[in-house]
Amino acid sequence: MKIVFLDAKSIGDDIDLSGFDQLGEVVKYGFSTPEEAGERTKDADVVIINKVQINEQTIGRADHLKLVCVTATGTNNLDKEYLAERQIEWRNVAGYSTETVAQHTFALLFYLLEKLNYYDQYVKSEKYIGDTIFTHFSNVFHDLNGMTWGIVGLGNIGDAYRGTRHNAGFHFVDEVADKYAARFQTDRKFFGEVAKARIGGAEVILLKPSTLMNLSGKSVAAVSTFHKISPSEILVAHDELDLLPGTVRLKISGGSAGHNGLKSIVSCLGSSDFARLRIGIGHPRDRQLQIPVADYVLSRPPKEDLELISSAIEKALACIDEIVDGDFSRAMSALNEKTDSRK
């Protein structure tokens, strides 16, 4: 078996990779351009990457390739449709560095909340020292205590979509509402169904957009503007193809990873600095299903998967107090622990 590392330098020099030598022939490259990757992978059985793009250009001549491994959690550099067409498996690191990620997330939360970049630049520009009263109120920030949170569940309204995989976000906020005896009511100015709950010491707005999934941002932005909820005080619960049923992850900010609901929210808020509760629904390949992803997410899961998704939502619900209280470290430690739900 031939194992090829295409960008070993990108994971650092302090990681011992000698264990791979026991599995077969190992070839390591510090970095590979797309052109170099195409040549270097042609005889590979397994390709291991971190940042390199995996697509027809980089593995098109790899006739023996059986597995692509990503030394990270994110998989946006994989052309998954092409891999499925070639029947090439892929795996990523589903959970690692939990404490480190939680620490970094907490640092970013306060960095954004207190607008530290703005004030750092303001002081360095010497505008502050040139101010006769040594004050500046142009960009205000607020205490965490007493803030209003927004919890958004993504999905599609209507009986036709009820219980589908794509409505996992709706399922979560429905459970939150039940736990805190909150009732959803349609509010046209918010383009969705809204409920209010008291969680810990904070008032929380629960939202189910009644727009189509791809237009969810319109509803989220309306609630955010009216209630003066900043992106850092918003939690969006959504279905996640890259996580198996039974798995749930908490993530602070980031990209949309191809999720159209998240794309819309980022566009309408003008910011990606909101928390995401990623509820695993699995990918068609996990069940060897030869159906388009769009049809898969809009279908109802079998009983076994539904039970796993429900258990993940229960696990997330148990951490909602910590999330609203700003104790992301504890919530992420509980939710982001590595689990094996591929059985």
Q: What do you get for the CA distance between the two ends of the chain, in Å?
A: 26
Quote the CA–CA distance of 135 and 117 in Å, as a whole number.
17
Asked if 259 is an active-site residue, the reply is no
Quote the CA–CA distance of 82 and 225 in Å, as a whole number.
41
| Residue closest to 211 by CA, chosen among 201, 202, 220, 219 | 219
Q: Which of 166, 171, 238, 259 is catalytic?
A: 166
> Do the beta carbons of residue 127 and residue 104 sit within 8 Å?
no
| Residue closest to 250 by CA, chosen among 319, 309, 185, 190 | 319
Length of the chain equals 343
Task: For residue 189, give both structure tokens.
Answer: 């100015």
- The helix (run of H) or strand (run of E) holding residue 121 is helix 116-124
List residues with catalytic annotation: 166
